Amino acid sequence: MLIGLCGGICAGKSSIASYLVEEHQFKRIQLARTAATPSVEKSASNVHVPPAELSPNDAQYTFPNVDSLLEFVTLRWRENWVTTDIWDDKVVDALLRRPFFLLVSVDAPVSVRWQRFKDRCASSQLTPPSLEAFVLRNDEHLFAPGTGLQILFERAQLKLLNSTTSIPSLHAALAALNLPNDARLRPSWDQYFMQLADLAAHRSNCMKRRVGCVIVREKRVISTGYNGTPRGMTNCSEGGCPRCNTAAKGGVDLSTCLCLHAEENALLEAGRDRIGATSILYCNTCPCLTCSVKITQVGISEVVYNQGYMVDTQTARIFAESGVRLRQFSPPREGLVDLSGGLDGGEDGGVGEGKVGDVREVLGDEEFVRPVR
Ligand SMILES: [Zn+2]
Ligand SMILES: [Zn+2]
Ligand SMILES: [Zn+2]
């Protein structure tokens, strides 16, 4: 696989890359920058000086453009590669087309990154910037029209919040995260079908709850459903169901509700003949009692749900008695993953980009960081 790490100044890209090299035998791979380096990055990237952890042999893994880099990795995709050279949209477009590529963004509070930057300056006897100077530099780095990197971070498949204050706690968090897990590159069947059920839920028009459902037979989708009023009737969200548009609590007055449930819609769409004896029903919410009896009657063999509903125990009892397997599957959480996660390793040193002593890139920008006199 190939992992691309992108992030702000001192967010921790190089620390994470080093971890992958040391703990998981990844190799660093570099991409030359084709456009001129914006001045804002001159103190904040490894553009000018190779990172300290690169050995002279690593020069063979430096590529003039993203196409040649991809050609190289495509032939060696079973090996593990990591790069921090995520320069722009074009690079991200090219990399994300490949099934072996994972884009990871790393972020940290600006005060934490400033502290890391100051630590780095201090270790090479340089005067650190003021917080204001750092913030302005950071804003330009992330938000400058045309070159700002923030927009790239949004495309990351995995987003990390690295506010940890020590290398050991960062490493512990990364170990728990298991970055080389290639399930992130390609979803399992459960994850794939549950995501389809979630997608169906986005079409829900019921005022009470978004529910989506997918019925699968031998790994093929045979029908999908979401909840809402029947065809030809006003959508629930436009007043179509009087019960759902009142303050009735979940599960109350269900007999007066005009909305079909996602499972009902999917069952009606598929029909008993197509469902057969081996179909699995994926639903983002555990089925209610009336859906459970219909699921049982039509011959579904297994129900996989993500979130619980208020009658899970009774639903489980119905399925247990009728021989329908029931299990919960929750896809990996999306959004920001907080690496600090309660792990606080104390004051063992900053977790910046690069190791302590890796300060040569700071020297590249004398306007920003002046030597102490
Ligand atoms: Zn409704
Ligand atoms: Zn209703
Ligand atoms: Zn239901």
pLDDT in tens, the chain (373 residues): 999 999 999 999 999 999 999 999 999 999 998 666 665 555 543 333 334 445 555 667 999 999 999 999 999 999 999 999 999 999 999 999 999 999 999 999 999 999 999 988 888 888 888 999 999 999 999 999 988 999 999 999 999 999 988 899 999 999 999 999 888 898 899 999 999 999 999 999 999 999 999 999 999 999 999 999 999 999 999 999 999 999 877 767 778 999 999 999 999 999 999 999 999 999 999 999 999 999 999 999 999 999 998 888 999 999 999 999 999 998 877 778 898 864 333 333 333 333 333 332 333 333 333 333 3
Ligand 3 center to 373 CA (angstroms): 73
Ligand 1 center to 258 CA (angstroms): 7
Q: Domain 2-184 is of which CATH architecture?
A: 3-Layer(aba) Sandwich (3.40)
- Give how far Cα 39 sits from Cα of 71, 207, 307, Å: 30, 51, 48
Query: pTM for the whole thing?
Result: 0.76
Contact 294, 272 (CB under 8 A): no
Which tokens hold the place of 263?
A: 């499972």
pLDDT score at 65: 94
Ligand 3 center to 11 CA (angstroms): 46
What are the residues whose beta carbons fall under 8 Å from the beta carbon of 58, sequence distance 6 or more?
27, 28, 30, 50
pLDDT score at 41: 54
Ligand 3 center to 20 CA (angstroms): 46
Ligand 1 center to 44 CA (angstroms): 53
* CA distance linking residue 353 with residue 239, whole number of Å: 54
Ligand nearest to the CA of 311: 3
Ligand nearest to the CA of 209: 1
Ligand 1 center to 350 CA (angstroms): 52
Find the length of the chain: 373
pLDDT score at 255: 83
Residues forming a β-bridge with 106: 7, 160
Domains 2-184 and 189-331+354-363 share a fold: no
pLDDT score at 350: 33
Ligand nearest to the CA of 227: 1
Ligand 3 center to 313 CA (angstroms): 14
CA nearest to 149, candidates 69, 109, 89: 89
44 CA to centre of own chain: 25
6 sits in the region (left: phi over 0; alpha: psi -120 to 50; else beta) called beta
Catalytic residue among 263, 264, 353, 361: 263
Domain spans in the chain, listed from the N-terminal domain onward:
2-184, 189-331+354-363
CA nearest to 86, candidates 135, 47, 125, 127: 47
* Structural class in CATH, domain 189-331+354-363: alpha beta
What are the residues whose beta carbons fall under 8 Å from the beta carbon of 198, sequence distance 6 or more?
212, 284, 306, 331
Ligand nearest to the CA of 208: 1
Q: What is the dihedral of CA 352, 177, 32, 49, to 10 degrees?
A: 20
302 annotated active-site: no
